[in-house]
Structures are given as C-alpha cells and as structure tokens.
Structure 1
Amino acid sequence: MNTVRHRACHASATLTRSLRIPSRWRTISTNHFIHREKDAVVPDSGFTFAVKDNIATAGHPTTCASAFLRDYESPFEATVVRQLRERGGVFVGKTNMDEFGMGSHSLNSAHGPVLNPKFDDVPRSAGGSSGGSAVAVRLGDADVALGTDTGGSIRLPAAYTGVVGYKPSYGMISRRGVVPYANSLDTVGFLARDVKPIYDLVIDGGLIHEHDELDPTSLTSQSRRRCSPGGDRRPPKLEEHFRNPSEITIGIPQDYRIAELHPSILAAWAAAEDALRKWGARVVPVRLPSTQVALPAYYVLAPAEASSNLAKYDGVRYGSRAEGGDTDASGEVLYSRTRGDNFGREVRRRILMGTYSLSSEAMDNYFVQAQRVRRLVQRDFDRVFARPNPLRDEEPFDLSDLEDGWELENKRGPAQVDFLLCPTAPTFPPRVEDVRTQGPVDSYMNDVFTVPASLAGLPAISVPVPAGNGMEEGGGVAGLQVLGQFWDDARVLGIAHQLSRLMPVV
C-alpha cells in the first residue's frame, strides 16, 4: 500500500478509537490479548495489527492458547507477519483463541475465555476460534488483526462482535509459521472494522500475488496468474467495482433457511436482498443440496487431520512435559499423563474423534465418505457460480439431480450467479453460561453456514448489517456472509463493501 492509503487507514482507525466506541463496552474484562506490546509506535504512514496466538512472531510467545506450548517462543516469524510489517504494519500483540483453533466461542483457552465487548449485562460469546482478534479490532486496539479460519473461525467471531471477517481463497495467503489444525482447511485471514483496510492489503497491497516457496500449500506464481482474470494487471480500486449493478447476479441459498435460524437474522437477510435489488442487482434463489451433510463431513475430516498434526505433542519430542509425566504408569505409555494434563477437554475430544475415524474399522464408513461429501460440496458450488473454477474442469449440470418443481434458467439448468449471500451464523452471540451447558453437537451447529465454503476452499467474508433496533440478542447487528468462486476474492471484497454501504451499521 502507498503512504496515502496507509495514512488514511491509520486516521480512520484513530477516529474509530476516539469517537465511535461506547464506553460501556469496556466495562467487562474481555481478555482478548495474551501478550501485548507496551511501546508500539505507529508512524503516520503505518497501521497497527494484532496476531492470533497460533501464528508465529519471532521473540514473542506462540502458545496456541495451550498449556502444551506455555513456554514456547518461535525462533522465526510467520511469512504473513513479515508481509504486514513490510507494508507499514506495527505489531501490537498476540490475541487469545480457542486452544489450537478448536472451538466456536473462544472459551477453550489455557489463558481463560474471551468475552464479547458488545454486552455488559451477562458474559456472551465472542465467537471462535479467532475471538481475541475480533475483539481487538472491535475495541480499536488494532486496525487489522490476523486470524485463521478452518471452518469459520474468522467469520463467526466477526459476526458475533460486529466487525468484518475475511477468509481468502485456500492457498492465497502463506501458512508458513502457522501452527496447523487441519492442513487441507486452514486458511490465514483478516479482520477489520470495514472492508477497505483488508482490500488495501490483499488486493492493492499485492498479497494476492505473493507465492511463498516455503509453504507447500501456497499457490505458485504461475497458478496465480492463471487463476486471476486480469493476470498481473493492476486491480481496480475498491470503489471501481460494479459500475453497472444490473450485470451482477446474487444467489440466495434456499438450503440455508434452517429451522434454527433466528427470526431477526432471517429478517436482516431479507432486508439485504431488498437493498441489493434496489441497488440494481439481480437476486435469485439457488440450491446447494449438499449443505445438509457438509457439517458432519467437516467434523470427520478436521478432527482426523488434527489427530495426526497433534501426535507430535508428547513432552518428549515436542511440547512441555507435565509434572510427574517422566515415568511410566502401569499400563500407560510414557507420555499419557503429559497429553492428558496439557491438552484441554475439547482438544482431547477431537483427537479421539479423529483417531477413531482413521482407524481401520471406521475409515471407510467415516473418513472416506466424508471426502466424498466434500467433493459434492465443491461440485454444488461450481454448478451454481457463473465463473468457472480455475482449478477444476467444468462439469455439465445433470438435470436429473433437480427436485420436482425447481425452476430452470434455460435448457442447461438453473440460474448461475456471481456471488452467494447468506447469514454467517444462525443465532446471535449466546451467553457463556449457556454455551458451557451445551453438548458438543449443539456447539458445532454454529458452524453450519461457514463450513461449506471452507470445504470448497472458496473466499468468504462476513459483513455486519443492522438487525432490529438495538435488540438484546445481537446488539442490533447481524453478520451476513458473501461467498464467491475460487480466486474471485477482489470482487467478493468489492460486493461486501457495497453491501456495507447499502446497509450501514450506525
């Protein structure tokens, strides 16, 4: 980004910190930082950024909110942190999170829970697992925050705290220096108070073009040029997108109208549809039938990958040894006490889930079937989007897959769209005491709208929109999610910016 954009970004954030944050939001201890820089100096041409605690920063702790890494300081820095520093970013601290990214509410942390600053009546969820990063942005402690999104871990906290949360296309942002949860799903993303700072970094700032040779999941420079519609051509400014809105078609997934969807979020979704129609865009219903099986498939695949990634944490080869964990107990292996004491309850649960699904007796019925469901999810998205997926061959739509009575756009099938619009979360931020009494399955339901885009590797962004008149459940704000085809990130950010202008949150 050039100096003018840096200065504008910093000035905007300073105004936010000084004028727009109600004092009552600081009446509770949000516990969003694990480590905070005391003397961070921001030049006029710079901006501040916070880093989720599973992203390495040299000379600072990287604990993943786990007792296993309580003493760990990384000898190197994550590529994305270096990239932000090169663009004028000033590091202000490491943010709290769910342990190893496993959770939807940022309550599963060795450093204590993160609380939502929007509510001072009772403690409420800030969303997870990047809850600390979302709160840091919400309170103005950082202009931009880094998070990771495996199944919604950036978008859900953004919706709960009323900020913007963006998950890029898989393979765009380097993951070198990120402690892995599920390698085929983990994506580094950004949170900010509005879309522009993110666009300035990713599109104008050129992160979309930077390949990292040290990250095997980073798309090569050749692939990036092939995926980008304009190649290396200068991208348009944020405000230059969609000069003719009548050329834009936005799909409303009918399969996302679930019984658990809160009426006020449904009303906000409908209001957004009306606003986009009045703007001039075409809005049509679409079907994504694999949605109903995406969530269970995710909770087979992600724990399976996690059980493999976390196998090295034993206190012998890696991680801190538990007290008394240096001798064998009767019938136990050397590191059983260390893993039992240092892993939190949710992490232990997911390791057991993943280990079982990878066992010889269960693999065919669970892991292999979940991989097939993932392909169906990807296929559904590719059929719905008008822009072809640059990584896969285009498949003709099989009309026999349609349900009776479903309207065809033409002889080739239903309408194809540029973007999808849906809620980010089915409910408003729940009370912490309610979350603690929920069963795991009830908690996992919060990811029902965010998981499909993660399984398909697509760009998705959560934007805050008005929801009622200061209603208690959501503080008058709901999160709506915009999804686009793979590597269509610039236009996804552009339509999200337009939505936030059409439905501003006061």
Structure 2
Amino acid sequence: MSLLREAEKCIANQTRFLELNAVITPLQSQAGWLQRVRDADARRENGTQKSALDGRIIAIKDNICTRSLPTTCASAMLEKFSSPFDATVISALEESGAIIGSKTNLDEFGMGSHSTNSRFGEVKSSFCGNSGEPLSAGGSSGGSAVAVATGQCYAALGTDTGGSVRLPAAYTGTVGFKPSYGRVSRWGVVAYANSLDTVGIIGQKTSVVREVFGVLNHHDPRDPTSLPTNSRSRISALLSQSQFSNRLASRPLRIGVPLEYNLTELTPSLRKAWLSALKALEKQGHSLHPVSLSSTRHALPAYYILAPAEASSNLAKYDGIRYGTRAAGPDSGEGLNGYLYAKTRGEGFGAEVKRRILLGSFSLSADAMDNYFIQAQRIRRLVQSDFDKVFAFNNPLRTGASGDKDGVSRVDVVIGPTTSSTPPSLSSIQNDSDAMASLNAYVTDVLTVPASLAGLPAISVPVSTTKTDTNPGVDKVGIQIIGQYGDDDLVLDVGEALEQAEITV
C-alpha cells in the first residue's frame, strides 16, 4: 500500500470512528500534510527514505507541545494555549519524515485511568460490553490507544506516569511501551510528575513501537532528566558482555513470575491468559522462575502520594497571569484584600485535577511531610531494590554496576498481567460517586505503578483470552513485560516473542 493510500485510510477512519472521541484536533487541520505524504512516497519509490517512519502518520497525546497544532491537555485552563515551539520528540519525528497527525484526547493533565476527565468529553473504546454499551479506553492516553486500535494513525505517542500508556494499550488490544526513565526526552511535555513522567509509544505491533523508539531514543541537553550520552554508552557496553549480548537468540531466557502480581482480584480470564502466555514462552525453550517483589504491595499508595505532590507543584504556575486562561470577571474579594486568582484556578481545573492538587499540597505541608512524602520516597527506594535483586543484569545507574551479580543466577525479565480485570463499562464508572470513582480508578494502576516508581522499561502486549467472565467484545488482554533499567531492547524482543508465540486459551 502506498503511503498516500495509507494516509487516506487514516483520515477515513478518523471520520468513521468520530463517536469514540479519540481526537481533539484532527490531522486535516494541519496545513501541508498531504504534500509531505506525497514527497515521502516519492522518496520511498527511489530508495531515499529518511527512516522507517518516513510518511507515516503519528498521533500525539495532547499534553505534548506542537507548534502547528493547539496543546490543550484536555483542560479549560489551556484551551486558548498555542505553543511557540515543538517538543523534542516532535522535532525528532519530523526529522525522520513522520507526519504529525491528530492531537489525541486524554484525562486532563494526564490525571486519570479511564480518559473520562477531559474537557472534551470521555474517550470510548472500540470494544463494546453487554447490550452494546461502550467500555473504558483506559487512561490517561486513551485517545492515543483508540486512535491506534481503530487505524487512525500508524502509531501514537502517549505519556506514562503510573501506567498511562500500558493501561490503555491493555484495554484496547494494542501494544504500549514505556521506555526506561530518561531514555526519551521530556522537553516540551507538559509536566504532571517530573520524576515519573515518561513519553511512551502505542502501536499495533511491537515492531512498530521499536521503529518509533529508535527515532526518539537520544540524549537531549535541554532535558535535565535525559540520560547522558556517556551513560547510554556505558549501558551499551555492559549489555554487550557475552552473557547479555543477543540473549533471546543465543540462550533461553530466565523469566520471572512475580508472586505478588497474582492478586485475589485478578479475574479468571486474565489469570488464564497470563498462564497461557508463560506456557507458550516455556514451549519456546525459556524457563520460568517465581520471584518475590515484596515491596510492590506498598507501591500504589506511595505513588499516589508522590505523583500528586509533584503535580501540585507543577500546576501552581497556572494562575491565569503567567500561564493558563484567566477566568472572566473579578476574582473573589475586592481591592488588595481580594484573592488574585482563586476564581481562575477554580474554574480552570476539573474535579480530579483539583483533588490531586489538594492531596499533593497536604502531603508536602510541614505537618505531613515526614509522615507521607518522605515515607513514600523510602518505599520507592525499596521497590527499586526489589527489582534490582531479581534481575541478572545489574542496574547500571547503581555505583559499581558491572554485568552479572557475581555469577548468581537471576531472571532476565519479569512477566505479569498489565491489569487485574478487563475494561469496565463507562456507565459503571459514571454511576459511582465521585469519591468511589476516583478510588476505583487509582486501584486500576496497581500492576503498572511499580515499574514506574523504579523507572524501568515495560511493555504491554495483547494476548487472546476466553470470554467467560469478560465483556463479549473483548477478546484480548494485556500481558506486561518488565526489564532492568536500560534493558529496553530485551523488553521489546520478548514482546515480539510473545506476539509470535502460539498461545492457546
């Protein structure tokens, strides 16, 4: 298929699936995109392609800054914002010849697990439940996942703070990859929680995700959290050692099965799909080994202290004076004794964003800092330590890290479910009270948050499942592969191996 026909098909699908509300700003609003596709087609014919992405349409989550299209973060606070620059990931994609497509819908400022907290309305999955009711697309990158699942783009960028790429991928039957923290630049990405935010990639296949990652995986001097060039070289040197080089082809893998991920809340269909995936990899010659990640049971509460704390600091600048849209009319009070921007922040932020700002402000207060924020940071270190203990490859960021742990045999990757259940219906989410809906949404991240706290690479790959306890339209669930820091290529390799495995359910 020519690139032009592929692009036309993407446009047709944007119109066809308009009711799913995956897109905030459509591709057609960008000037000159059609000619760029034609130019890429010409380069493809004469063998001068810029990259594997040349002429491909990449959708962008609407919290990543683009100069040619508005950036709203799905918030009233930024509805009039136009970025004067492109994020680094946008510039990298355009240099590779990719076409920046639609800006996709999300939970406001990336805060949510179902893509229902958007000023532009909820995102609906292309899967349907009983009586044809729409299901959750996951969050917060639900728009990006649905755009990929319905063929509105070749691939899409999202952001993953605690699972916001992997969860939507699991709910929509797509592949969602969160690279190691610092591998991909965050410069130009509207911050939620700086120490956790990671630009992630969603595609129909792991091979597509790998192509996009290859374009984005570079040091960016403008991003202080970007992994430096010398650290990248050091990681490559450690991975080139004989026991780690080309592991999937040279020897069977040792696959860790995390005992703590076998939750009592795990639905039978998901547990069966997990076991089927493990058996399929075992048939390929790999060995399975139970591992304990004991601190992960504390990861979720720690995350929901740390992330809101960072969010409350990051969102403080949106006051309608320096950043953000100012509310019409005077603020509360009059004269010098009035509040300068209370009305602006009250009207500009949605309920969930305000909830997290309050949570974060409390945990950073002088009275609560030691009991909440500091304790959560300690738990984060314990979660990192648990992962370091089970992986054969030493964490290259730790002092003295050098390959294998003195010959002690550990696992190469850890494999578990991405979610504890199949996607809920949107009606069930809407019927919950505000407090209960938020609590249920927070619990949804229980299996994705540990890798985020530790900054590890993780990918969710769709695996076929039975329909005994699931919605009739859902025939795939997400299985998550987690690797040691910097071991992103192995995680992608195992993702491809799982796609190619003969899985019977």
- TM-score normalised by L of structure 1: 0.87
Cα RMSD of the aligned pairs, angstroms, is 3.1
Q: Does residue 339 of structure 2 align to residue 346 of structure 1?
A: no
Q: Does residue 20 of structure 2 align to residue 30 of structure 1?
A: yes
Deviation, structure 1 residue 244: 3.8
Q: Does residue 83 of structure 2 align to residue 74 of structure 1?
A: yes
What are the residue-to-residue correspondences of 1:357-506 with 2, within 5 Å? Answer: 357-393=363-399, 416-436=410-430, 437=432, 438-468=436-466, 472=471, 475-503=474-502
What are the residue-to-residue correspondences of 1:155-170 with 2, within 5 Å? Answer: 155-170=166-181
The residue matched to 1:83 in structure 2 has which SS? helix
Q: Are the counterparts in 1 of residues 276 and 504 from structure 2 also a CA contact under 8 Å?
A: no
Structure 1 equivalent of residue 52 of structure 2 = none
Task: Give 1:292's match in structure 2, choosing from 294, 297, 301.
Answer: 297
What are the residue-to-residue correspondences of 1:152-191 with 2, within 5 Å? Answer: 152-191=163-202
Are residues 481 and 473 of structure 1, via their aligned partners in 2, closer, same or farther at CA, if it must alter by over 3 Å? farther
Q: Does residue 12 of structure 2 align to residue 40 of structure 1?
A: no
Structure 2 equivalent of residue 224 of structure 1 = 232
Deviation, structure 1 residue 101: 0.3
Give the total of aligned pairs.
474
1:251 and 1:30 map into 2 onto residues whose CA distance is 37
Residues 342-400 of structure 1 show CA distances to partners (whole Å, capped at 9, x for unaligned) of 100000000000000000110000000000000000000000100000001379xxxxx
1:201 and 1:86 map into 2 onto residues whose CA distance is 12
The residue matched to 1:364 in structure 2 has which SS? helix
Structure 2 equivalent of residue 252 of structure 1 = 257
1:446 and 1:265 map into 2 onto residues whose CA distance is 14
1:434 and 1:427 map into 2 onto residues whose CA distance is 14
Bigger fraction of residues in helix: 2
Residues 4-34 of structure 1 show CA distances to partners (whole Å, capped at 9, x for unaligned) of xxx99x699789979xx9x9x9577110110
Task: Give 2:72's match in structure 1, choosing from 42, 63, 72.
Answer: 63
The residue matched to 1:284 in structure 2 has which SS? strand
1:49 and 1:14 map into 2 onto residues whose CA distance is 10
2:122 and 2:180 map into 1 onto residues whose CA distance is 29
Deviation, structure 1 residue 325: 4.0
Are residues 66 and 280 of structure 1, via their aligned partners in 2, closer, same or farther at CA, if it must alter by over 3 Å? same
- TM-score normalised by L of structure 2: 0.87
Deviation, structure 1 residue 201: 2.9
1:477 and 1:107 map into 2 onto residues whose CA distance is 22
Deviation, structure 1 residue 496: 0.5
1:341 and 1:307 map into 2 onto residues whose CA distance is 16
1:232 and 1:244 map into 2 onto residues whose CA distance is 13
Deviation, structure 1 residue 484: 0.2
Q: Are the counterparts in 2 of residues 467 and 474 from structure 1 also a CA contact under 8 Å?
A: no
Structure 2 equivalent of residue 105 of structure 1 = 114
Deviation, structure 1 residue 473: 5.6
The residue matched to 2:310 in structure 1 has which SS? helix
Q: Are the counterparts in 2 of residues 49 and 145 from structure 1 also a CA contact under 8 Å?
A: yes
Are residues 332 and 501 of structure 1, via their aligned partners in 2, closer, same or farther at CA, if it must alter by over 3 Å? farther
Return the letter of the residue paired with 1:273.
L
The residue matched to 2:190 in structure 1 has which SS? coil
1:155 and 1:245 map into 2 onto residues whose CA distance is 28
Residues 217-252 of structure 1 show CA distances to partners (whole Å, capped at 9, x for unaligned) of 11111111112246899xx99xx7622452x10000
Structure 2 equivalent of residue 142 of structure 1 = 153
2:6 and 2:415 map into 1 onto residues whose CA distance is 28
Q: Are the counterparts in 2 of residues 28 and 117 from structure 1 also a CA contact under 8 Å?
A: no
Deviation, structure 1 residue 88: 1.8
Return the letter of the residue paired with 2:437.
G
The residue matched to 1:191 in structure 2 has which SS? strand
Residues 185-244 of structure 1 show CA distances to partners (whole Å, capped at 9, x for unaligned) of 0000110000111212324x4x33x211111111111111112246899xx99xx76224
1:190 and 1:485 map into 2 onto residues whose CA distance is 19
1:76 and 1:57 map into 2 onto residues whose CA distance is 6
- Runs of 4 or more, structure 1, over 6 Å off, are 11-18, 230-233, 410-413
Structure 1 equivalent of residue 219 of structure 2 = 211
Deviation, structure 1 residue 505: 10
Return the letter of the residue paired with 1:421.
I
Q: Are the counterparts in 2 of residues 254 and 286 from structure 1 also a CA contact under 8 Å?
A: yes
Q: Are the counterparts in 2 of residues 166 and 189 from structure 1 also a CA contact under 8 Å?
A: yes
2:184 and 2:226 map into 1 onto residues whose CA distance is 7
